Structure 1
């Protein structure tokens, strides 16, 4: 990791902060770890889980090199009360910049934080802003948001296109790419222990357990995969609201196991145990709910795994079709089963895809580069032309 880039005193206002887990939380944590901790304060939502959640959050925050202010609300919404609390945090930190890692809805506080002396406001859009751009009421709110901040960033061009149509021409000209990265060294293949049994190929799906991610679609086709590879194991990992339901279903599916949330420190070993990574994501509600990019797809590639992914939103930028993996319509059970079976049938092809993915991630997806770009945007440097 390089030295922290220079940036102004910055307050980060977010609902997406560990110990909560998910793609945006990974994105936020990775970038904050690369900024100057002495010029950084995080104003985060209250943790989930009552007393145990409070203890976990307190232990997590105490290990960080920057200050964390925990708001009393478990979900931060742009209300006058929240605006007042954030302004107090900004004033106490003598902050000159604010970053909203999830643009909607908190970016609507852009005008409010300026009254506390903030000169630069950056908001980062992900996949969930797509539906904001396509529903009349929220589309108008998204336009106001774009005018309230100095820069709107996007992690993928696919997601930028529908969101940018909701912005004013002035705000659209102030958009920039802030793509995620991967610590390729951390996810480089390690010894296959723990979750692996001798002679049994492992298929891994790691993601937050919500409907669009497709854990249930993979469970549905697993019997067909097992018919061709009787000893194969399916590991479904990640926390989320569907975990109890998935566990009940998996109990009836031979060779399938739902791990639930896996500690971050154990993720490299989990990837190393697998032969194929699958994320059968699909758009929902006619494309209103889509995938922004899929950091887990890049992590799997960095670990040397071939990737099977649904063609949805930004996944087309995280997987090079037929080079680092396979893109498909994950709602097609036959296609999904065939893609997994084909990679298990042909270890040479799978290894070649995994090697290509690891090489590509090392070249093209660098957190340090992204952190430098975020610091420049917070500092007020001109917004670079999109792309």
Structure 2
């Protein structure tokens, strides 16, 4: 099982965009530093594969589609074959598609951890939502733990009738990279900039921010909005966007864009615990986010009155963003407090230690005990 005395973890991952791949890359990097033998199954031709290799993982090909379809049976067979070849001590499946395929392939025969990173049934309605909930209720019996990134995400699963062994492990960020700018390297005098980092899709709610933007411009006429990311909604939103909005596209490193910003905004409709606000706060950037899973748990308690707004509410979003853009001392103080909070609670090394503790309980091994002590 554990090759050469090293605990072997197989991560299975489908998405290439958004925060989940960044979470997995950071986690794999910390596990590799601790001495784990980390293997990641993902699409081999995407930039994610290169990032994972640099982080210390061995990448094996898994060309899964984003959504279930006729190809699901072959994807499940490929997972089963992969597990037979890799012989992991534990399988860690990330997000809905990987969780579906891994649990169908393994059915409890290998210690399995499923991490939804936001419930898939939040994204659909009606009969599809009911079917998705039913699958999660059934699939829970084929995993040893369901890891939620926020207590709110766990409550949503419990409210949906999912009976599981739960673990809440918040996301973390690499604080050696995401930190305040050096003195003299901060934001120079220029028009105020709002940055939104996320996949351009219905979930992340950039359309709500675009609806709010004309009201922001009435209060702060020279403000600029940068949308960092790509996705299925880009073409439509770009064609109808109001003035002073720049579509940056996908980037390999979000840090330079955070350095350009005065405020980060993420108007999501659902989340588990979004990564972009944590990264922004770690750089001393104030944030405005919607009141979805993980948001309240991410923010310093004193920030919730201004930094937390209802989903799908352009008016509230515009008011909070406008107030921050118009008040530089307030932004500075909120950014300072956010940085202290992020560094106290959202260090990726703490996240990695918690995951290693979980692995030790799910698949006890002298190897994982030794390696966990290095994290």
TM-score w.r.t. length of structure 2: 0.83
Separation in 2, partners of 1:64, 1:181: 16
Aligned position for 2:284: 304
Q: Return closer, same or farther for 1:58/1:176 CA change in 2, 3 Å cut-off.
A: closer
Separation in 2, partners of 1:354, 1:104: 36
What does residue range 352-363 of structure 1 map to in structure 2 within 5 Å? 352-363=333-344
Q: Relative to structure 2, which stretch is displaced further, 210-219 or 123-132?
A: 123-132
1:145 correspondence with 2:125? no
Aligned position for 1:287: none
Aligned position for 2:167: 176
Q: Deviations over 1:9-62 (max 9, x none)?
A: 12112213xxx2211111111111111366121121355xxxxx5xx5665565
Separation in 2, partners of 1:196, 1:226: 20
1:175 Cα offset (Å): 0.8
1:219 Cα offset (Å): 2.0
Separation in 1, partners of 2:141, 2:79: 19
Q: Deviations over 1:68-122 (max 9, x none)?
A: 111244448594533332233223223221111225562463364378x73x111
In structure 2, runs of 5+ residues without a counterpart are 365-375
Q: Relative to structure 2, which stretch is displaced further, 348-357 or 221-230?
A: 221-230
2:178·2:255 contact (CA, 8 Å) conserved in 1? yes
Aligned position for 1:329: 310
1:198 Cα offset (Å): 4.3
Aligned position for 1:32: 28
Aligned position for 1:255: 244
Select the residue among 221, 224, 238 that pairs with 1:230. Answer: 221
Supply the RMSD in Å over aligned alpha carbons.
3.1
What does residue range 273-292 of structure 1 map to in structure 2 within 5 Å? 273-282=260-269, 290-292=270-272
1:190 Cα offset (Å): 2.6
Separation in 2, partners of 1:62, 1:24: 16
Count of matched residue pairs: 352
1:46·1:73 contact (CA, 8 Å) conserved in 2? no
In structure 1, runs of 5+ residues without a counterpart are 1-5, 48-52, 283-289
Question: What secondary structure does 1:211 align onto?
Answer: coil
1:222·1:337 contact (CA, 8 Å) conserved in 2? yes
1:318 correspondence with 2:314? no
Q: Relative to structure 2, which stretch is displaced further, 76-85 or 64-73?
A: 76-85
Q: Return closer, same or farther for 1:243/1:144 CA change in 2, 3 Å cut-off.
A: same
2:196·2:226 contact (CA, 8 Å) conserved in 1? yes
1:71 correspondence with 2:62? yes
Separation in 1, partners of 2:64, 2:265: 35
Aligned position for 2:150: 156
Aligned position for 2:368: none
Separation in 2, partners of 1:375, 1:225: 45
Aligned position for 1:293: 273
2:72·2:101 contact (CA, 8 Å) conserved in 1? no
Separation in 2, partners of 1:242, 1:193: 38
1:326 Cα offset (Å): 1.1
Separation in 1, partners of 2:338, 2:300: 8
What does residue range 1-387 of structure 1 map to in structure 2 within 5 Å? 8-16=7-15, 20-36=16-32, 39-45=37-43, 47=45, 56=47, 59-60=50-51, 63-75=54-66, 79-103=72-96, 106-107=99-100, 109-110=102-103, 112-113=105-106, 118=110, 120-131=111-122, 135-166=129-160, 169=163, 171=164, 174-190=165-181, 198-250=189-241, 253-264=242-253, 267-282=254-269, 290-320=270-300, 322-323=302-303, 326-381=307-362
Separation in 2, partners of 1:208, 1:64: 22
TM-score w.r.t. length of structure 1: 0.80
Question: What secondary structure does 1:187 align onto?
Answer: coil
Q: Return closer, same or farther for 1:57/1:227 CA change in 2, 3 Å cut-off.
A: closer
Q: Return closer, same or farther for 1:382/1:177 CA change in 2, 3 Å cut-off.
A: farther
1:257 Cα offset (Å): 1.1
1:160 Cα offset (Å): 0.8
Q: Relative to structure 2, which stretch is displaced further, 84-93 or 231-240?
A: 84-93
